């Protein structure tokens, strides 16, 4: 792999993603200097206590001065504000990127602010957890995970290759995508699952008033899996919903239609159709495992053994 090194990297936002980047940049020796900027003085103090960088400031413009690579890791609704703040202080030829979960809206907010002498290349590591803040990050977060770059057509190829090499040095596999396509794909594989989780946990929480503590007491692992996703950061997910509105509404529409047909199958006792649907969906997970993508279950071996039995109709 090509040697990747930046004299100075500025990290704007030092939560789960920013602090994971700081840790892996340090571990892999990818920067001569790591400058950290974040909005709140309290978070900045914590980043300093954790020794995540070489310089610390609450002034985003100050942090990017002289930086060869700037990575913005803030909730997507704040991207435009950050771009406005840093625009006048960027170094000639700097690469400016981000990690936001939505891409078209981030481009619409940031691109108009970027001076002509910098390379703006949006990105999105498909790696995360339900935790947030500087304590939540870890250097291995990006290992084996995809990072999707959504460069604009006119962007300098060398700069794109350098950013791709950076993410590879962080342990990621790198793909390129059109921003609109990214937003549609992520709406179904990431945004919708989170919204379904927020919704089911909300419904159970409403029921809780009726059933007292039974929802918690008898919660099986299926429900617990939903509570993990539904405990994700409210600011981040509010911003994702507001910034990928069209694709999310499209996927929610399809989801509601399919849920209505599922309701009908149950109402009419159509066991064959239910069995066929559940067989088809089980094959999706098998496909993920066979493609060598990580699944989160700690009992990975048992899961794949169960799946490999195939679908017998009793």
Binding footprint of ligand NAI on the chain (CB under 6 A)? 12-18, 37-40, 43, 60, 73-76, 78, 81-82, 99-101, 125, 128-129, 132-133, 233, 236, 240
Residues 109-128, interacting with ligand ENO (CB under 6 A): 126-128
Residue 129 interacts with ligand ENO (CB under 6 A)?
yes
The token pair at 136 is 């939540």
Residue 143 interacts with ligand ENO (CB under 6 A)?
no
d(CA 284, CA 278) in angstroms, rounded, equals 10
d(CA 165, CA 142) in angstroms, rounded, equals 13
Residue 190's binding partner among ligand ENO, ligand NAI, none (Cβ under 5 to 8 angstroms by kind) is ligand ENO
d(CA 266, CA 273) in angstroms, rounded, equals 9
Supply the minimum distance, in Å, between the C-beta of residue 124 and ligand ENO. Answer: 6
Question: Toward ligand ENO, which CB reaches closer, 60 or 101?
Answer: 101
What residues pair up with 149 in beta bridges, in sequence order? 123, 176
Q: Which of 250, 106, 239, 103 is closest to 175 using CA atoms?
A: 103
Residue 13 buriedness (CB in 10 A; 0-12 / 13-18 / 19+): buried
DSSP per-residue letters across 43-87 = HHHHHHHTT--SEEES-HHHHHTT-SEEEE-S-GGGHHHHHHHHH
Residue 151's binding partner among ligand ENO, ligand NAI, none (Cβ under 5 to 8 angstroms by kind) is none
Residue 185's binding partner among ligand NAI, ligand ENO, none (Cβ under 5 to 8 angstroms by kind) is none
d(CA 172, CA 123) in angstroms, rounded, equals 12
Question: Toward ligand NAI, which CB reaches closer, 91 or 124?
Answer: 124
Q: Which of 48, 62, 130, 270 binds ligand ENO (CB under 6 A)?
A: 130
d(CA 121, CA 71) in angstroms, rounded, equals 10
Supply the minimum distance, in Å, between the C-beta of residue 86 and ligand NAI. Answer: 9
Residue 227 interacts with ligand ENO (CB under 6 A)?
no
Supply the minimum distance, in Å, between the C-beta of residue 103 and ligand ENO. Answer: 10
Footprint of ligand ENO on this chain (CB under 6 A)? 101, 126-130, 190, 229
């Amino acid at each position: 792999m090509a040697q990747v090194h930046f004299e100075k990297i500025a990290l704007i936002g030092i939560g789960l993603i920013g602090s994971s980047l700081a840790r892996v940049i340090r571990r892999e020796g990818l920067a001569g200097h790591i400058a950290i900027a974040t909005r709140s003085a309290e978070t900045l103090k914590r980043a300093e206590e954790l020794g995540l960088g070489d310089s610390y400031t609450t002034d985003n413009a100050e942090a990017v001065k002289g930086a060869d690579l700037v990575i913005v890791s803030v909730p997507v609704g704040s991207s435009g504000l950050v771009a406005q703040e840093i625009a006048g202080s960027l170094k000639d030829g700097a690469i400016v990127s981000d990690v936001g979960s939505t891409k078209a809206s981030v481009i619409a907010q940031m691109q108009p602010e970027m001076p002509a002498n910098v390379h703006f290349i949006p990105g999105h590591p498909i790696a995360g957890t339900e935790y947030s803040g500087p304590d939540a990050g870890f250097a291995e977060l990006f290992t084996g995970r995809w990072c999707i770059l959504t460069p604009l057509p006119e962007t300098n190829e060398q700069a794109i290759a350098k950013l791709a090499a950076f993410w590879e040095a962080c342990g990621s596999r790198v793909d390129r995508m059109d921003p609109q396509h990214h937003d549609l794909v992520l709406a179904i594989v990431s945004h919708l699952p989170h919204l379904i989780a927020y919704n089911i946990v909300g419904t159970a929480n409403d029921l809780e008033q009726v059933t007292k503590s039974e929802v918690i007491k008898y919660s099986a692992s299926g429900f617990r899996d939903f509570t993990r996703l539904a405990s994700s950061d409210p600011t981040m997910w509010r911003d994702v919903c507001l910034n990928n509105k069209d694709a999310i509404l499209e996927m929610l529409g399809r989801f509601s239609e399919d849920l209505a047909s599922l309701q009908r199958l149950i109402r009419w006792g159509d066991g064959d159709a239910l069995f066929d649907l559940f067989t088809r969906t089980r094959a999706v997970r098998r496909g993920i495992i066979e493609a060598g993508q990580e699944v989160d279950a700690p009992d990975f071996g048992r899961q794949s053994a169960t799946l490999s039995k195939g679908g017998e109709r009793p």
